[in-house]
Amino acid sequence: MKVYMDNGATTRVTEPVYAAMQPYFCEIFGNPSSVHGFGREARKAVEAARAQVAKAIGAEPREIYFTGCGTESDNWALRGAAYANAKKGRHIITTNIEHHAVLHTCRQLEKEGFEVTYLPVDSYGLVTPEQLEAAMRPDTVLVSVMYANNEVGTIEPIPELAAVAKRHGALFHTDAVQAVGHVEIDVKAQNIDMLSLSGHKFHAPKGIGALYVRHGVRLQRLMEGGAQERGQRPGTENLAGIVGLGKAIELATGDIPARAAKMAAIRDHMIERIMNEIPHVQLNGHPTRRMCGNVNVSFYFIESESVLLHLDLRGVAASSGSACTSGSLDPSHVLLAIGVSHEHANGSIRLSLSDENTMEEADYVVDCLVETVAKLRAMSPLYEDFLKGVETVGTDD
Amino acid sequence: MEYTEQVMDHFMNPRNMGDMEDASGVGTVGNAKCGDIMRIYIKVENDVITDVKFKTFGCGAAIATSSKATEIVKGMTLEQAEQVTNKMVMEALGGLPPVKVHCSVLAEEALHAAIQDYRAKLEKGEAPEAEEEEVRYV
DSSP letter (8 states) at residue B82: H
Do residues A187 and A66 share a domain? yes
Do residues A199 and A302 share a domain? no
Q: Which of A208, A225, A252 is the last residue of a domain?
A: A252
Check pLDDT > 80 for residue B129: no
Check pLDDT > 50 for residue B132: no
**What's phi and psi for A283, nearest 5 deg?**
-90, 130
- What are chain B's domains? 5-126 (3.90.1010.10)
Q: Which residues of A194-220 are buried (b: 16+ CB within 10 A; e: fewer)?
A: bbbbbbbbbbbbbbbbbbbbbeebebe
Do residues A152 and A202 share a domain? yes
A8 part of a folded domain:
no
What sign results for the dihedral spanned by CA atoms A4, A71, B35, B89?
Answer: positive
C-alpha A299/C-alpha A274 separation (Å) is 10
Do residues A73 and A201 share a domain? yes
3-state secondary structure of A35: coil
How confident is the model at residue B131, as a pLDDT? 47
**What's phi and psi for A249, nearest 5 deg?**
-70, -30
How confident is the model at residue B16, as a pLDDT? 97
Q: Which residues of A106-116 are buried (b: 16+ CB within 10 A; e: fewer)?
A: beebeeeebeb
Candidates B114, B104, B100, B122; CA nearest to B26 is: B114
Residue with the bigger pLDDT between A133 and A329: it is A133
Helix residue ranges, H only, B3-84? 5-12, 60-73, 78-82
Do residues A360 and A285 share a domain? yes
Do residues A237 and A264 share a domain? no
How confident is the model at residue A348, as a pLDDT? 95
Query: Taking CB atoms and an 8 Å limit, are A329 and B35 in contact across chains?
Result: yes
How confident is the model at residue A397, as a pLDDT? 54
Which among B9, B37, B99 is the top mutation candidate for probing chain A, defined by the most A β-carbons within 10 Å of its own β-carbon?
B37
Do residues A266 and A329 share a domain? yes
Check pLDDT > 80 for residue B137: no
Which of A 110-169 lie inside 8 A of B, CB atoms? none
Residue A109: CATH number of its domain = 3.40.640.10
ipTM of the complex: 0.89
A9 part of a folded domain:
no
Fill in the amino acid letter for A53.
V
- Please compute the mean of the pLDDT values over residues A353-358 and round it to a whole number: 97
C-alpha A251/C-alpha A394 separation (Å) is 53
Do residues A112 and A30 share a domain? yes
What sign results for the dihedral spanned by CA atoms A333, A335, A340, A341?
Answer: negative
Percent of chain A with pLDDT over 90: 94
The minimum CA-CA distance between B137 and chain A, rounded to whole Å, is: 30
A384 touches chain B (CB under 8 A): yes
Candidates A158, A126, A145; CA nearest to A287 is: A126
Residues in chain B: 138
Percent of chain B with pLDDT over 90: 80
Residue A330: CATH number of its domain = 3.90.1150.10
Q: Which helix (H) or strand (E) holds B46?
A: none
User: Got the DSSP string for A39-59?
Assistant: HHHHHHHHHHHHHHHHHHHT-
Cβ–Cβ under 8 Å, residues B127 and B121: yes
Fill in the amino acid letter for A152.
V
Q: Identify how many contiguous H helices and E strands chain B contains and give both numbers.
A: 6, 3
C-alpha B43/C-alpha A25 separation (Å) is 67
Q: Which residue of B has its CA nearest to A348?
A: B35
What sign results for the dihedral spanned by CA atoms A257, A261, A264, A268?
Answer: positive
A265 touches chain B (CB under 8 A): no
Query: Taking CB atoms and an 8 Å limit, are A313 and B12 in contact across chains?
Result: yes
Per-residue pLDDT tens over the stretch B5-37: 999 999 999 999 999 999 999 999 998 877 889
Cβ–Cβ under 8 Å, residues A189 and A58: yes
**What's phi and psi for A267, nearest 5 deg?**
-55, -50
Candidates A332, A240, A254, A290; CA nearest to A24 is: A240
Do residues A282 and A246 share a domain? no
Check pLDDT > 60 for residue A137: yes
Q: Which helix (H) or strand (E) holds A207?
A: none
Which among A299, A328, A346, A390 is the top mutation candidate for probing chain B, defined by the most B β-carbons within 10 Å of its own β-carbon?
A346
Q: Round the average pLDDT of chain B to a whole number and report it.
A: 90
3-state secondary structure of A364: helix
Per-residue pLDDT tens over the stretch A69-82: 999 999 999 999 99
**What's phi and psi for B46, nearest 5 deg?**
50, 45
Q: For chain A, what is the domain count? A: 2
Q: Which of A252, A273, A303 is the last residue of a domain?
A: A252
How confident is the model at residue B9, as a pLDDT? 96
A226 part of a folded domain:
yes
Q: Round the average pLDDT of chain A to a whole number and report it.
A: 96
Q: A-chain residues within 8 Å CB-CB of B19?
A: 384
Check pLDDT > 80 for residue A332: yes
Check pLDDT > 60 for residue A375: yes
Do residues A219 and A260 share a domain? no
Which of B 44-83 lie inside 8 A of A, CB atoms? 54-60, 62-63
How confident is the model at residue A324, as a pLDDT? 47
Q: Cα–Cα distances in Å, from A208 out to A16, A100, A177, B122?
A: 17, 18, 12, 67
pLDDT-derived band of residue A164, with 50, 70 and 90 as boundaries? Answer: very high
Cβ–Cβ under 8 Å, residues A32 and A239: yes
Per-residue pLDDT tens over the stretch A32-45: 999 999 999 999 99
| Boundaries of domain holding A308 | 255-388
The minimum CA-CA distance between B55 and chain A, rounded to whole Å, is: 5
How confident is the model at residue A321, as a pLDDT? 66
Query: In the beta sheet, which residues pair with residue A151?
Result: none
Q: Which of A226, A252, A278 is the last residue of a domain?
A: A252
C-alpha B74/C-alpha B80 separation (Å) is 10
The minimum CA-CA distance between B77 and chain A, rounded to whole Å, is: 25
- Please compute the mean of the pLDDT values over residues A356-382 and round it to a whole number: 97
Tell me which residues of B are annotated as active site.
34, 103
User: Got the DSSP string for A137-155?
Assistant: -TTEEEEE--SB-TTT-BB
- Please compute the mean of the pLDDT values over residues A88-107 and round it to a whole number: 97
